[in-house]
């Protein structure tokens, strides 16, 4: 069974005016789709073709000979997670257990927002910023290029893609504006709370 491009959890114009349908048509329809196609080509007729995406990532992480497979598999996973990290009715603040954990581990929502913005803005070149569960505590981390927290024993709760292809059509070089908009209008706290609950 070949790896599949999952459906977007909303229509391509659902995040407007914050992220345009034009951006999503390229980002989802071209970039995410290309990672799926590349992964299928690279794993064709190999034992990896029948494994889960997560198992492919775990098996190829840190193996220079299989960096191409890792990069495409991780990008497939990261992008699916990113689409779910946003919602047309997103933004605002988390509640319940997630809010309490942010208070306890990260010093409150405002400090979380500041460190998330800093991580996303200072990821040099391409990559991702994340809210993760690491060793039982919430942390904000960033990863370069295709790298993903699931290759490092962390449980992602939320991510923002800071590759230029994620924002350049709408924000050009203004990455901080894209990050601020993500937190104010798009972030899907229900998704993050569900990931936290599933992690136990
Ligand atoms: Mn991307």
Q: Which structural domains are found in the chain, ordered by start?
A: 21-84 (1.10.287.990), 96-198 (3.55.40.20)
Comparing CA positions, the residue from 88, 107, 105 lying closest to residue 157 is: 105
Q: What is the pLDDT of residue 200?
A: 75
Which residues does the chain have with pLDDT short of 50? none
Q: What is the pLDDT of residue 1?
A: 62
Q: What single DSSP character describes residue 152?
A: G
Enumerate residues 6+ apart whose C-beta is below 8 A from 124: 144
What is the Å distance from ligand 1's center to 96 Cα?
A: 30
What is the Å distance from ligand 1's center to 104 Cα?
A: 31
What is the Å distance from ligand 1's center to 187 Cα?
A: 16
Radius of gyration of the chain (CA): 16
- Residue range 15-39, pLDDT digits in tens: 999 999 999 999 999 999 999 999 9
What is the Å distance from ligand 1's center to 180 Cα?
A: 17
User: Is residue 162 helix, strand or coil?
Assistant: coil
The overall pTM is greater than 0.85: yes
| CA dist., res. 104 & res. 68, Å (int) | 39
């Amino acid at each position: 069974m070949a790896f599949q491009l999952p459906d977007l959890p909303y229509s391509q114009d659902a995040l407007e005016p914050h992220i345009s349908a034009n951006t999503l048509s390229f980002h989802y329809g071209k970039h995410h789709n290309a990672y799926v196609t590349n992964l299928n080509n690279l794993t064709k007729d190999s034992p990896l073709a029948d494994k889960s995406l997560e198992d492919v990532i775990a098996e190829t992480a840190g193996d220079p000979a299989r960096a191409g497979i890792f990069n495409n598999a991780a990008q497939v996973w990261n992008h699916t997670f990113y689409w779910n990290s946003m919602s047309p009715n997103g933004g605002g603040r988390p509640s319940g257990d997630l809010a309490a954990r942010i208070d306890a581990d990260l010093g409150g929502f405002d400090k979380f927002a500041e460190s998330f913005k800093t991580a996303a803005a200072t990821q040099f070149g391409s990559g991702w910023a994340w809210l993760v569960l690491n060793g039982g505590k919430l942390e904000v981390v960033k990863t370069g290029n295709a790298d993903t927290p699931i290759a490092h024993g962390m449980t992602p709760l939320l991510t923002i893609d800071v590759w230029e292809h994620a924002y350049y059509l709408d924000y050009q070089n203004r990455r901080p504006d894209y990050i601020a908009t993500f937190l104010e209008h798009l972030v899907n706290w229900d998704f993050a709370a569900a990931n936290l609950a599933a992690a136990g």
